[in-house]
Amino acid sequence: MHNTGLLDPSALSERWLVLDARSAENYRLGHWPRAIRVPVTDWETMAKQTNTDLAQDRHWRGSIGALGIDGRRPVAVYDDGRMTEAARVWFILQHFEWLPPSSMAAGPF
């Protein structure tokens, strides 16, 4: 798979946590080294439900923490180039203040 993105994956040190905000199918076809897929569609659905909306701090901290996000490691989020999905993930992480200053949203893969 050819990377046409704005950032070369090799430019990110091992310290960075790389999140893939693309579909499960695209992730299976290829992704950045060490990238972890974020279930963006599930997150969108949860954000709209009363019992899991963005006011439900405990629920979201569990979902975010399950990805390995700890608020200390810098995070890079990428998607298919439309920046829609990466922006959604970015917004949720920012909302819960889980992004260190050096984090970024990028795209496409």
Report d(CA 55, CA 108) in Å as an integer.
30
Evaluate whether residue 2 is within a structural domain. Answer: no
For the segment 67-94, the average pLDDT, to the nearest whole number, is 88
Residue 102 tokens, joined: 């050096």
**Which pLDDT tens digit goes with each residue over 19-64?**
999 999 999 999 988 899 999 999 999 999 999 999 998 989 899 9
Nearest one of 105, 101, 41 to 77, comparing CA atoms: 105
Q: What is the 3-state secondary structure (H, E, C) of 34-93?
A: CCEECCHHHHHHHHHCHHHCCCCHHHHHHHHHCCCCCCCCCEEEECCCCCHHHHHHHHHH
Evaluate whether residue 4 is within a structural domain. Answer: no
Evaluate whether residue 47 is within a structural domain. Answer: yes
**Residue 2: per-residue pLDDT:** 46
Evaluate whether residue 29 is within a structural domain. Answer: yes
The domain total for the chain is: 1
Greater pLDDT, 20 or 6: 20
For the segment 70-91, the average pLDDT, to the nearest whole number, is 88
**Residue 46: per-residue pLDDT:** 92
Q: What is the domain range of residue 47?
A: 9-106
- Looking at residue 35, which CATH number applies to its domain? 3.40.250.10
Tell me if 89 sits within 8 A of 95, measured CB to CB.
Answer: no
Report which residue type is found at 84.
Answer: T
Residue 6 three-state SS: coil
For the segment 88-99, the average pLDDT, to the nearest whole number, is 87
Evaluate whether residue 37 is within a structural domain. Answer: yes
